[in-house]
Structure 1
Amino acid sequence: MPGKVSVLVAGSWGTAIASVLAENDSDVWLWSRNERQVAEINAEHRNHRFLDDVELSPRIRATTSMEEALRGAKGVFVVAPSSAMREVAKQMRPYLSKETILVHATKGFEADTLKRMSTVLADELPEYDASRIVVLSGPSHAEEVIKQCPTTVVVASEHAEAAEEAQDLLINSSFRVYTNPDVVGVEVGGALKNIIALGAGLTDGLGYGDNAKAALLTRGLAEISRLGTAMGGNPLTFAGLAGIGDLVVTCTSKHSRNWRAGYLIAQGHPLDDVLKQMGMVVEGVKTTQAAYKLSRQYDVTMPIADELYEVLFNGKTAAAAVEDLMGRGRTHELEEVAKPVQTKWFG
């Protein structure tokens, strides 16, 4: 399905998606505000800051012009940090065609409003049919995707045809894509797993071993599912690629910036220093703040998220947080969750 496809912005994940699209014979325009980065991509076919010395396809062309990036594009993939999504959407509005397939691959909430990214896009793009917005998520480290390691993801939309068009743009022999109608569940699962990844880094930094990490992932998934279903997600989504799949890869890999941030914090490094050292956005930090507020808004118990909030923002030590989690009162594993949501495709 050749043609022009745009990717906004040129971070590690955006560049990896651009590479998948280029491999599928799309002519890819990669947008960035950074003139030096754009020049490097166009002249050297490299994006050194984010992906070292990986050579990019000559089908990928970078630009600082939003108009140039979007004009005539049949698909647009937005991979901006959650904190920048609204501003990027505002810049897109004059140039985005109603017929263009719009996909976002950002895992987080807007800090002030607690809105999901598809809702932020809908706010700023009122002429675009919000039901056709597609969400891309799943276990997919950019460092492996760019090397064409076997990867499986999910695209979700309320509109079945939009999800299938996004699937057609992306799917190939190393990048398998499933569809799902549950936009809420896919977005919530993709965002909240970053909190648990921070926790996994903390437990590894404290030297607590595999038993602790397995417990953290399992109970973390329970928290993700509780909040996700309360917000309207389908419980089955959290047993899939955007739930347990993304949770496992983010909590167990050296590529995970959220895991690395948690590990450094457990070693005694202050949060501000860790974020400066990472040099890239650590979505789990802002997502922990969002989850803390959302759990109270929806009256959902999230003890792991609560303890991480205390560690990140109130000076509690990681060891004390683990001690308090282990010392909680007795409870039943099969807690009551929100009533399952029957999610159907439009039409």
Structure 2
Amino acid sequence: MRIVIVGAGSWGTALGKIWAEAGHRVILLARRREVVESINTHRENPGYLPGIKLPSGLEATLRQEVLREAELLVWAVPCQGLREAARRATGVLTVPPPMLSVIKGLEVETFCTPVEILEQVFGKGEYMVLSGPSFALEVARGLPTAVVLAGKTPRLSFWQERLSRPVFRIYRSEDVRGVELCGALKNVIAIASGISDGLELGLNARAALITRGLAEMIRLGLKLGARPLTFSGLAGLGDLVLTCTGPLSRNYRVGRRLAAGEPLDQILRNLGQVAEGVETVKAVRRLAHDLRLEMPITEAVFRVLYAGVPPARALQELLARPLKEEFAPLPL
């Protein structure tokens, strides 16, 4: 099968590697010539996956025309740039192929998920999302990983079988909205977890933050039509735990460095990659306000990132909130 992946960052490259090793022909559509030359000549993408040797079945290109060759078109670009990238592709594609989003975020201006953006740009078609606890570096190293593939397509089982590998186990779901929301919302909580660990608040605090963060995710997700069980699965709890505890998480690292007093613009420059939660928190906060939902952790992260509130003060404000029942009525 010919797979074209738009985006040659860490996640796109890692997926390209495992699918090329499974015998698929995989082409990465990159933005920078040096990335293309490094992959095609040296079999490495050192800016994103240093030390990982890439198979010969994985190629990279700058040519948009390669989109016409795709039997599956995978989108692995930052969420805030997806709409523009998709619009560019409409000038090349006459009949859109099946599309898979591996993006975890929400578009700030519209609150749209990645699949919703693709549907708006390309119209009727076959759309899916792949999400779950999956650091790109570990996937590229061939370490065992389990994720979930969600879609409304009757061929979901077909895609599940074609894209799975022994060390990359894929479960399937029809809850596209829930899986996408989980992937976006957990990044916000991961920033809070990084702040907590950066302030050396301990494992008790981190566990409480993850649990209450999950409650916020469920509160918003149910209001937006997600299925409750999705939040206890790989895309929900699984990915939340991973990104709130693993140092490979970019969002978690942002939180730790905020706790150390580093300015956000400097953190993002030094990070070298996109931490989706930094932008997603804007959309989540606005959604919470519009829907009159209480999401105090999200509010605290926003205030640290964009209102100049010191992390220690944001923590004090969280702890000073009135006492309440653990399980308040969920939105219907």
TM-score normalised by L of structure 2:
0.97
The partner residue of 1:272 within 246, 265, 277 is 265
The partner residue of 2:40 within 8, 30, 42 is 42
Q: Is the 8 A contact 2:96 2:122 kept in 1?
A: no
Structure 1 residue 49, shift from structure 2 partner: 0.2
In angstroms, what is the RMSD of aligned CA positions? Answer: 1.2
Structure 1 residue 88, shift from structure 2 partner: 1.2
The partner residue of 2:22 within 24, 30, 33 is 24
Residue 85 of structure 1 aligns with which residue? 82
Residue 50 of structure 1: SS of its match in structure 2? Answer: coil
The partner residue of 1:291 within 280, 284, 290 is 284
Q: Does 1:134 align with 2:132?
A: no
Residue 151 of structure 2 aligns with which residue? 157
Structure 1 residue 99, shift from structure 2 partner: 6.8
Residue 2 of structure 2: SS of its match in structure 1? Answer: strand
Residue 99 of structure 2 aligns with which residue? 102
Aligned residue type for 1:252: T
The sequence identity of aligned pairs, in percent, is 39
CA distance in 2, matches of 1:24, 1:97: 29
Residue 223 of structure 1 aligns with which residue? 216
Residue 320 of structure 1 aligns with which residue? 313
CA distance in 1, matches of 2:47, 2:162: 26
Aligned residue type for 1:216: L
1:100-150 Cα deviation digits (max 9, x unpaired): 221001000111111111111111112x42xx2101100000010000100
CA distance in 2, matches of 1:67, 1:166: 24
Structure 1 residue 65, shift from structure 2 partner: 0.7
Residue 16 of structure 1: SS of its match in structure 2? Answer: helix
The partner residue of 1:76 within 69, 73, 76 is 73
The partner residue of 1:242 within 216, 232, 235 is 235
1:31-60 Cα deviation digits (max 9, x unpaired): 001111101111111000000021001000
Aligned residue type for 1:81: P
Q: Is the 8 A contact 1:138 1:243 kept in 2?
A: yes
Q: Does 1:303 align with 2:296?
A: yes
The partner residue of 2:160 within 167, 177, 183 is 167
CA distance in 1, matches of 2:224, 2:12: 28
Structure 1 residue 338, shift from structure 2 partner: 2.6
Structure 1 residue 96, shift from structure 2 partner: 3.8
Aligned residue type for 2:9: G
CA distance in 2, matches of 1:279, 1:78: 20
Q: 1:181-200 to 2 correspondence within 5 Å? A: 181-200=174-193
CA distance in 2, matches of 1:89, 1:302: 32
Q: 1:57-68 to 2 correspondence within 5 Å? A: 57-68=55-66
Residue 52 of structure 2 aligns with which residue? 54
Aligned residue type for 1:74: E
CA distance in 1, matches of 2:45, 2:231: 33
Residue 4 of structure 2 aligns with which residue? 6
Range with bigger deviation, 175-184 or 91-100: 91-100
Residue 225 of structure 1: SS of its match in structure 2? Answer: helix
Q: Is the 8 A contact 1:4 1:27 kept in 2?
A: yes
Structure 1 residue 323, shift from structure 2 partner: 1.0
1:68-104 Cα deviation digits (max 9, x unpaired): 2x22321111001011101111122244464722100
Aligned residue type for 2:29: W
The partner residue of 2:113 within 103, 112, 116 is 116
The partner residue of 1:256 within 243, 249, 252 is 249
CA distance in 1, matches of 2:35, 2:96: 30
CA distance in 2, matches of 1:301, 1:118: 26
Deviating above 6 A after TM superposition, structure 1's stretches of 4 or more consecutive aligned residues are none
Aligned residue type for 1:144: E
Instruction: Return 5+ residue gaps in structure 1 as ranges.
Output: 340-347
Q: Is the 8 A contact 2:4 2:69 kept in 1?
A: no
CA distance in 2, matches of 1:11, 1:267: 27
Q: Is the 8 A contact 1:231 1:298 kept in 2?
A: no
1:195-240 Cα deviation digits (max 9, x unpaired): 0100010001100010000000000000001001101100110000
Range with bigger deviation, 15-24 or 213-222: 15-24
CA distance in 2, matches of 1:97, 1:5: 17
TM-score normalised by L of structure 1:
0.93
Aligned residue type for 1:156: A
Residue 125 of structure 1 aligns with which residue? 122
